[in-house]
Amino acid sequence: MRLDSSSNVNMDTGVFLLALIACVARPAEALDNGLALKPTMGWLHWERFMCNVDCDKDPDNCISERLYMQMADVMVKEGWKDAGYEYICIDDCWPSRQRDAKGRLQAHPKRFPGGIKKLADYIHSKGLKLGIYADVGKNTCAGYPGSLGYYETDAQTFADWGVDLLKFDGCFMEWKLLGEGYVNMSKALNKTGANILYSCEWPLYEWPFRQPNYTAIRETCNHWRNYADVFDSWNSVKSILQWTASHQDIIVPAAGPGGWNDPDMLDIGNFGLSHVQEESQMALWAIMAAPLLMSNDLRDICPRSKELLQNSHIIAINQDPLGKQGYRTATEDHFEVWERPLSQNRLAIAVMNKMEIGGRREFFIRETPSWKICSPQCNVTQILPQYKEMGLQTPQSDLVVSVSPSGTALLTVTPIRDFTSFHKLHQNDLTVHHKRIIL
Ligand SMILES: *[C@@H]1O[C@H](CO)[C@@H](O)[C@H](O)[C@H]1NC(C)=O
Ligand SMILES: *[C@@H]1O[C@H](CO)[C@@H](O)[C@H](O)[C@H]1NC(C)=O
Ligand SMILES: *[C@@H]1O[C@H](CO)[C@@H](O)[C@H](O)[C@H]1NC(C)=O
Ligand SMILES: *[C@@H]1O[C@H](CO)[C@@H](O)[C@H](O)[C@H]1NC(C)=O
């Protein structure tokens, strides 16, 4: 079904945001540790490997030093590191149930016989970085020792081990103390003098009680989870997108170099998403300037998923140096349009087909709310579903994208303000357009 070009597009708050972000807002000060100037890229064990601690029965998939070492080997060998993926991150279930005699966290002795310091050295020897996991409260979500009362000890332990990133969860913490706890740990990390990227879940745990203070969160953390854990399903990915769109006026202005909204891990390469749904997750995570933390088994991943995760055009959108998060700008006829301002006045557009029945449906690209940047002309490149250079377009362009059910078309648009190429195209109509260019 074609969209009638005269139909009204329902624009949501995104259009307003576009204006607001373009004209006014610079995000508040970011945490001043020099890290996460672009969204973090790497791998995190949780979604795929969870709390599998049974190394006798399942030695290849249990939470053990072997898992991270093997993942590091593959990251280097199979092009992941070259594509930009850098952090190998441990999630819950790595420690021993007891702290040591000096009150320090210790890795589970059987599953991490070499200890975390040796693992960090190994990861560093591959040119990669190591992330670890702890919790702001009394216990981690899986019941291991939490850091409440031990922030400085734990920060120093992680620094001594050479850890590069801390994912700090929010289970078993009185919600009114969340802010204090996350701020105290941020200060404790800073005090070690080590460069440890700080990944928080403060807003996720505060939202049920009140609207979190994103100015404070941005000053404290390098990225922060806002919403529920991602599961290996399209419903889960959709619910994250829906939550993000419905809170975008609050959360999008908080993102920028040094601090990012974290919609959770990429499921791509697992079991629950079809390939077009994987494309949707990758495209929308790029639009959202999200950390790209894969949770999959890099030792065994299908070539199409791998190619998608390593797609340099999509990664370039995610890592765009302007560092502005995109947002949903229109919903119409079971399509969602998401747009992200890029450096050099470029724009990324994602058109998602929310209809989960039937075949591909076409969408006129000129219906996107920001298409005005194509006046007088723009150059359009389609990145998904296939790379295709669409060439020069105008405000009247008839360009359509054809989008599969639950799939997404992803494009970049480069405005052309150059007088010479413009001149060639519109020789007959110079005076009128000349004014427009000067404006
Ligand atoms: C600690 O914070 C200060 C001031 O905000 C900053 O200049 C410094 O770079 C930080 N150090 C680390 C290791 O993050
Ligand atoms: C945070 O640090 C302050 C100052 O040291 C302390 O009074 C407060 O109890 C700490 N809060 C938490 C949750 O650790
Ligand atoms: C939010 O946090 C900032 C920075 O810490 C602070 O200046 C501001 O007063 C806080 N806003 C509210 C409404 O508490
Ligand atoms: C349009 O963009 C493509 C891809 O970057 C590029 O190869 C092509 O030269 C551009 N065309 C114009 C007219 O700028």
Per-residue pLDDT of the chain (439 residues), as tens digits, is 333 333 334 444 444 455 444 444 567 899 999 999 999 999 999 999 999 999 999 999 999 999 999 999 999 999 999 999 999 999 999 999 999 999 999 999 999 999 999 999 999 999 999 999 999 999 999 999 999 999 999 999 999 999 999 999 999 999 999 999 999 999 999 999 999 999 999 999 999 999 999 999 999 999 999 999 999 999 999 999 999 999 999 999 999 999 999 999 999 999 999 999 999 999 999 999 999 999 999 999 999 999 999 999 999 999 999 999 999 999 999 999 999 999 999 999 999 999 999 999 999 999 999 999 999 999 999 999 999 999 999 999 999 999 999 999 999 999 998 655 545 554 444 433 333 333 3
For residue 181, how far is its CA from the centre of ligand 3 (angstroms)? 16
Ligand 2 pocket check for 184: Cβ under 6 Å: yes
Ligand 2 pocket check for 180: Cβ under 6 Å: yes
* Tokens of residue 438, six digits: 């000067």
Residues in the chain: 439
* Residue that the structure tokens 């249990």 belong to: 62
Q: Are strands 400-403 and 361-364 parallel, antiparallel or unpaired?
A: antiparallel
For residue 346, how far is its CA from the centre of ligand 4 (angstroms)? 13
Q: DSSP 3-state assignment of 18?
A: helix
Distance (Å, whole) CA 437 – CA 439: 5
Ligand 3 pocket check for 211: Cβ under 6 Å: no
Q: Which ligand is nearest to the CA of 210?
A: 3
Q: Which ligand is nearest to the CA of 148?
A: 2
* Residue that the structure tokens 């576009």 belong to: 18
Q: What pLDDT was estimated at residue 25?
A: 54
Q: Which residue minimizes the CA distance to atom 14 of ligand 2?
A: 181
* Residue that the structure tokens 């795929």 belong to: 48
For residue 391, how far is its CA from the centre of ligand 4 (angstroms)? 6
Query: How many CB atoms neighbour CB 74 within 10 A?
Result: 18
Distance (Å, whole) CA 259 – CA 54: 36
Ligand 2 pocket check for 170: Cβ under 6 Å: no
Sign of CA dihedral 17, 23, 29, 35: positive
DSSP 271: S
Q: Which ligand is nearest to the CA of 29?
A: 3
Cβ neighbours for 336, distance < 8 A, ≥ 6 positions apart: 241, 245, 328, 330, 351, 352, 354
Active site residues: 169, 229
Ligand 4 pocket check for 381: Cβ under 6 Å: yes
Q: Which ligand is nearest to the CA of 138?
A: 2
Ligand 1 pocket check for 193: Cβ under 6 Å: yes
For residue 194, how far is its CA from the centre of ligand 1 (angstroms)? 9
Hey, which of 313, 345, 377, 379 would you mutate to test ligand 4's pocket, going by the most ligand atoms within 8 Å of its Cβ? 379
For residue 147, how far is its CA from the centre of ligand 2 (angstroms)? 12
CA proximity to 245, closest of 331, 356, 171, 181: 331
* Residue that the structure tokens 């399903």 belong to: 233
Q: Which residue minimizes the CA distance to atom 1 of ligand 4?
A: 379
Q: Please name the helix (run of DSSP H) or strand (run of DSSP E) that holds residue 174, with its range, or none.
A: none
Residues pairing with 266 in the sheet: 294
Distance (Å, whole) CA 224 – CA 185: 14
Ligand 1 pocket check for 33: Cβ under 6 Å: yes
Ligand 3 pocket check for 216: Cβ under 6 Å: yes
* Residue that the structure tokens 């409260």 belong to: 137
Distance (Å, whole) CA 104 – CA 154: 7
* Tokens of residue 372, six digits: 């005005």
Show the beta-strand stretches assigned E in 264-407. 292-294, 327-332, 335-341, 347-353, 361-364, 377-384, 388-393, 400-403
Q: Please name the helix (run of DSSP H) or strand (run of DSSP E) that holds residue 265, with its range, or none.
A: none
For residue 383, how far is its CA from the centre of ligand 2 (angstroms)? 48
Give yes or no for a contact between 88 and 295, defined as CB atoms under 8 angstroms apart: no
For residue 213, how far is its CA from the centre of ligand 3 (angstroms)? 6
Give the nearest ligand 1 atom to 33 CA.
14
What are φ and ψ of residue 349, in 5° steps? -125, 130
Sheet holding 377-384, edge to edge: 10-11, 327-332, 335-341, 347-353, 408-416, 377-384, 388-393
Quote the distance between the C-alpha of residue 119 and its chain's center: 26
Residue ranges of domains in the chain, CATH in brackets: 10-21+325-425 (2.60.40.1180), 25-318 (3.20.20.70)
